[in-house]
Amino acid sequence: MDDVFLTGFPAGMLACNCYVLAQRAGADAIVVDPGQRAMGQLRRILDENRLTPAAVLLTHGHIDHIWSAQKVADAYGCPAYIHPEDRFMLSDPIKGFGRGLIGGFATSAFGALFREPKQVVELDRDGDKIDIGDTSSITVTIDHTPGHTRGSVVFRVEGDVPRPRGAENAREIAFTGDTLFRQSVGRTDLPGGSGRDLLGSIVTKLMVLDDDTVVLPGHGETSTIGFERRANPFLEGLTL
């Protein structure tokens, strides 16, 4: 990637980070986790930088991450990518929280709001690489990282990526969703969650990456793998 465009903003009540990545202004772009009320700010970013979404990438199916996925994908005529284990939440996101936690009226009201995008691609092969875009394609590696949900994934992009302070030699970014945060990890008490699986995913898929790898989480601040290896209290004592 030569002159990377990357930006993000917190969307909705739960401040889910929505990201936009392209090789440069005026090119095809990927949109990661467009959450609640993301469409307005997202459209401004796309218009100001002459970007056209070629894919909506969903790190998992929880409502705060997929809220605007159908609107974005269908408005721009691009597919939404999600792991098959979490696909059901695109049209029935309440299942991701358990119906026992939410009343019947709320369940019906939410159910009427959501439907699948017209184009859905299932990310069913761990380690696959997908090329997104036309003349300025972006190669994305998919790592299946169950634990927060059964279908959680991490998206990795290699190249001349934007480098935050402390990661001047970074050659890779990882969109970690709710698997790994700055000095924290994803919750595992919702349907499909597993603490054992979550830590196993982090150890085998994320802690094996270079220390300079930039971590772009689903909530909160940017980090690096090296910083999390040293300073994340939930990872203390974990080994491969």
pLDDT digits (tens, 9 = 90+) for 144-187: 999 999 999 999 998 766 665 666 677 899 999 999 999 999 99
The pLDDT confidence band at residue 1, using thresholds 50, 70 and 90, is very low
Tokens 């169950």, residue? Answer: 146
CB 93 within 8 A of CB 114: yes
Asked whether the predicted pLDDT for residue 105 surpasses 60, the reply is no
pLDDT above 90: residue 226: yes
Distance CA 39, CA 45 (A): 10
Q: What are phi and psi of 86, to 5 degrees?
A: -110, 0
End-to-end CA distance of the chain: give it in Å, rounded. 31
Average pLDDT over residues 88-101: 77
Tokens of 134: 């036309």
Asked whether the beta carbons of 22 and 51 are under 8 A apart, the reply is yes
Is the pLDDT assigned to residue 207 strictly greater than 60? yes
Question: Do 151 and 87 form a contact (C-beta atoms < 8 A)?
Answer: yes
80's CB contacts (< 8 A; 6+ apart) are 55, 56, 57, 58, 69, 70, 73, 90, 116, 117, 119, 120, 121
Q: Is the pLDDT of residue 2 over 60?
A: no
3-state secondary structure of 30: strand
